Structure 1
Amino acid sequence: MDIWIAGALIVTLFVVLGSGLWIGLSLLGVAIIAMELFTQRPVGDAMSLTIWGTTSSWTLTALPLFLWMGEILFRSKLSDGLFKGLAPWLNHLPGRVLHVNVVGSAIFAVVSGSSAATCATIGKIALPELKKRGYPDNMAIGTLAGASTLGLLIPPSIIMIVYGVAANVSIAKLFVAGVIPGIVLACLFSGYIVIWSLLNKDKIPAPDAPTSFAQKLYASRHLIPVVSLIALVLGSIYSGIATATEAAALGVGGSLLLSLIERTLTWASFKSGLQAACRVYCMIGLILAGAAFLTLAMGFIGLPRHLAEYVGSLALSPFMLMVLLVGFFIVLGCFLDGISMVVLTMSVLLPTVEAAGFDLIWFGIFIVIVVEMAQITPPVGFNLFVLQGLTKRQLSYLGWVAFPFFMVMVLMVLLTYFVPDVVLWLPRNMR
């Protein structure tokens, strides 16, 4: 009987979400209905204790700090400097300046933690420049769509913080675990660009005028600020000097200093960056609160236990379970954003995942890659919305040009499954 009640509540949840009500309020509303109708526990006490316990976590403090750091840098000249510093080095690779989308996104991901921010920031600089140089729109937009998802995988990542809190695992270890997969995925994206360029040589513009090694080094001075910030944030975590939350505070201080040096830090930019970070965090916080209360309600009803028992009865191999989860999250990504997907499903899936023998650090990176795939999957691929705003193209076109990079991410999921040390080697050797 409990499983039918849980199923009815899930259907109710999707109906409410489809109505356009805020995700956080939808989760809270369905949880209140579940607690009121199907349990004996007082709703008010349960809700207040659960929401306070979820949102007052010290670990969660890293989230608004990294959001603020990204907003500060979004308003600086950092992305402009990235293109100037990278273009001379990439000019003679097959695909030439298309690689700037990949390398620039990978670098900016380290200091933003958000794929949408990475997409918007790199896109504002790279897309007009690539169009001016004559690169095909489908590859210029497609490479940005795929590469911008690195904002979720390369630490510091907002969604890793959310997963770490939901799964009660070390956020510092999650950050470190994302480094090698992030680099490998960026290399796979560039590899696809190389193959496509070799097969379509007539569509690639002629290279820029050759530059000497000294000129390339001089152009690289634009990369010094971002490299310094990367060393500050990731270096402090990997060396064990700082926790993820302390590294986030260092990142905010470093980004404020960079903005001050670049003379882009004004009272207006400071205030707008802080307000934007607060708005995003309040949205995420409401989702986390609603998901935590819904998780409690589902626990009382028995959904996690029943689901774990059902999946166990299927006797799936670990590989088939992974395939099932990939399909599940891609479908879920058609309706929900990445953070909502994680907080809504972790409490239900973690018992099953642990029973299958998956390492929770590995599973966190797996989830991030699959959520990345959902970011470029219509109709609710957040990166596609950002690209639509930048390019004024239809979602169907954007989804089509992003599809090859979706398949590259499928390849990355398989690689992490068959070679788990891609994820686990760095955390295992962390101090």
Structure 2
Amino acid sequence: MDPVTLSLVLLAVVICSLGAGLWIFVGLLLTALFAFLVLLGFPVPRIGSILTPVILKSVFSFELAAVPLFIWMGEIISGTNLAAKLFSGLAPWVRRLPGGLLHANVGGAVIFSGMSGSSVAATATIGRVATSELIGRRYDPSLVYGSITVAGTIGIMIPPSITLIIYGIVAEVSVAKLFAAGIFPGLMLGLLYSGYIFVRSLINPALAPAQQDAYSWRQRFAGLLGMAPVLLLIAFLMGSIYGGFATPSESAAVGVFGAIVIARFSGGITLADLYRTGMNAVLTTAMIGSALAAAAVLATAIGFLHLPQMLSEAIVALNLSPMMLLLLLTLIYVMLGTVLDGISMVLMTVPIVLPLLTTAGFDPIWIGVYLVLMVEIGLVTPPIGFNLFVLRSITGVPIGQIALATLPFFALMLLGGLLLSIFPQIALWLPAQI
């Protein structure tokens, strides 16, 4: 069987499994067993002897310890009023710009991302705070919905990013370097979104009516003071990692403590809240850990099939340039984003895509950032785009209207991918300084 057909067969098994409503880890595991039993013809005892060490190695990873802690930190922060403080703290500084408070959407999402590590959390929290406020001030609904939906995706690019941790574990790449690599691309995307809002509002001021609110300098700096706990915690988290004082996992533990302190002085937090947020983190971590184990099993099966080598040889035979290969993979990821969630995309494709791109000369750190950008695109791609459903649940607006509002920003995400491809140092310069 040729490598393209083999890849399509495996992909079809995964998609059919997930489409049947099976959990992610079950779909991946069934695909791996299909490969071992049907394609390779391995006997069951041999499969068992292969899988045991693979599963144990995948889940007993020190880097994986950071995942539940960062998720718990994000859960705690999402229950506070910090998102409202971020929005109100940025509002006085951007209200006179073309686009006005829409820039506070983007800026708030970027900053909040540095606390939550989750695009869904960033979209939901900023969306609850900003949507009714901006619609009430007669801002153009398409710019409001579009900016909130895509700005929330930055949550998986700006560290601490759960998706980057998962990629780092699967690809065996330094999580600290991946965190550093995600900072400038995340800021770049935020600037692209704000730049688009600026230009649209400059051309048609009616899209973002001028606000009559007057702020004194004292009020402006008081707003910044309200943001100080968030900024200090982000600075402490990143500083402890890159200053060499803590690993990402150790930093995550301190982050949970900082989140509890901030929550205590931002409206209070009870033991029941800690239990509820902790259980949410446990459930999410169990889902991720089981999916990681199944993905490791699938990667092992793919290795026995020699699929990465065959695909590499097939790509070389096509004489595709690195950029053409990247364009082809981008189109594939956009299509996958219509039916799969981000974690599934990373776990399914890294075993195949990583050797292809490294063979073509791409840096594994850069590949991680590229994959996260593809996942971001998937988060706003109908019909599965999770951020579309998150905003719909908050606003009650039809999913089609929200999807239409995100189209210009979707194009900006693709532009961000192009810039990242032409100027890879956007992602690679900062990790090189560590």
Range class of TM-score, shorter chain: over 0.9
Structure 1 match to 2:15: 14
Q: Match for residue 355 of structure 2?
A: 351
Confirm or deny: 8 A CA contact 1:6 1:301 kept in the other structure.
no
The answer as to 2:388 corresponding to 1:384 is yes
Q: 1:137 aligns with which of 136, 141, 145?
A: 141
For residue 192 of structure 2, what is the aligned residue in structure 1?
188
Shift, 1:262, TM fit: 2.3
User: 2:218 aligns to what SS in structure 1?
Assistant: helix
Rounded to whole Å, the distance in 2 between the matches of 1:423 and 1:355 is 19
Distance 2:280 2:198 in 1: 38
Aligned mates of 1:20, 1:185 — CA distance in 2: 33
Q: Name the structure 2 match of 1:40.
A: 42
Matching of residues 70-219 of structure 1 within 5 Å: 70-219=74-223
User: Can you list the C-alpha shifts for 1:154-202, whole angstroms capped at 9, x where unaligned?
Assistant: 1111100011111111100110111111112111110000011012212
SS in 2 for 1:13: helix
CA distance in 2, matches of 1:133, 1:299: 57
Check if 1:31 corresponds to 2:32. Answer: yes
Task: Structure 2 unaligned segments of length 5 or more: list them.
Answer: none
CA contact (8 A) 1:77 1:264 kept: no
Cα distance in 1, alignment partners of residues 312 and 386 from structure 2: 30
Residue deviations 1:381-403 (CA, integer Å, cap 9, x gap)? 11111111112222222211001
d(CA) in 2 for partners of 1:361 and 1:63? 19
Paired letter, 1:313: A
Q: Which moved more, 1:102-111 or 1:405-414?
A: 405-414
Deviation at 1:268, TM superposition (A): 1.4
Q: Tell me which moved more, 13-22 or 160-169.
A: 13-22
Alignment of 1:267 with 2:276, yes or no, is: no
Q: What does the per-residue CA deviation read over 1:55-95, in whole Å, with 9 as the maximum and x for residues that have no partner?
A: 11111111111101100101112112112211111111111
Q: Does 1:375 align with 2:379?
A: yes
Q: Deviations over 1:240-295 (max 9, x none)?
A: 22211111111111101111222421011101100111111111122112111111
| TM-score when normalising by structure 1 | 0.96
Partner of 2:62: 58
Instruction: Give the match for residue 233 of structure 2.
Output: 229
Deviations along 1:104-154, whole A, 9 cap, x unmatched? Answer: 000000000010110001111111111221212111111001111110111
TM-score (norm 2): 0.96
Q: Percent same amino acid among aligned pairs?
A: 43
- Separation in 2, partners of 1:184, 1:13: 34
3-state SS of the aligned residue for 1:273? helix
RMSD of the TM alignment (CA)? 1.5
CA distance in 2, matches of 1:17, 1:412: 30
Distance 1:175 1:5 in 2: 34
How far is the alpha carbon of 1:13 from its aligned partner? 2.2
Conserved 8 A contact 1:174-1:364: yes
- Worse-matched range after superposition: 190-199 or 9-18: 9-18
Matches within 5 A, 1:232-271: 232-271=236-275
SS in 1 for 2:244: coil
Q: Distance in 1 between matches of 2:193 and 2:213?
A: 26
What CA distance in whole angstroms lies between the structure 1 residues aligned with 2:6 and 2:353? 18
Output the amino acid matched with 1:34. A
Q: Distance in 2 between matches of 1:424 and 1:12?
A: 36
Q: Secondary structure at the match of 2:173?
A: coil
Give how far 1:305 is off.
2.0
**Are the equivalent residues in 2 in contact too, given 1:50–1:293 (CA < 8 A)?**
yes
In structure 2, distance between residues paired with 1:71 and 1:150: 17
Gaps of 5+ in 1: none
Quote the Cα distance in structure 2 between the aligned partners of 1:210 and 1:410. 38
Q: Matches of 1:316 and 1:8 in 2, distance apart?
A: 23
Corresponding position of 1:296: 300
Give yes or no for contact 1:152–1:368 (8 Å, CA) kept in 2: yes
| Partner AA of 1:202 in structure 2 | A
How far 1:308 moved relative to its partner? 1.6
Q: How many residues are aligned here?
A: 430
User: For residues 418 and 7 of structure 1, do their structure 2 counterparts lie closer, same or farther at Cα, with a shift above 3 Å needed?
Assistant: closer
CA contact (8 A) 1:112 1:151 kept: yes
Q: Deviations over 1:7-62 (max 9, x none)?
A: 43332222222111112111112212322332436222323322211111111111
* Residues 295, 347 of structure 1: 8 Å contact kept: yes
Q: Distance in 1 between matches of 2:6 and 2:143?
A: 48
Deviations 1:214-236 (A, max 9, x none): 22111222101101111111111
Decide whether the 8 Å contact of 1:2 with 1:302 is kept in 2.
no
Shift of the 186–10 alpha-carbon distance from structure 1 to 2, 3 Å rule, reads: closer
Question: Residues of 2 paired with 1:10 and 1:359: CA distance?
Answer: 25
Contact 1:308 1:349 in 2 (8 A): no
Instruction: Judge conservation of contact 1:72–1:256 (CA < 8 Å) in 2.
Output: yes
Say which SS state the counterpart of residue 149 (structure 1) adopts.
Answer: helix
Q: Are the equivalent residues in 2 in contact too, given 1:2–1:301 (CA < 8 A)? A: no
CA–CA distance in structure 1, aligned partners of residues 250 and 387 of structure 2: 29
8 A Cα contact 2:156 2:376, kept in partner: yes
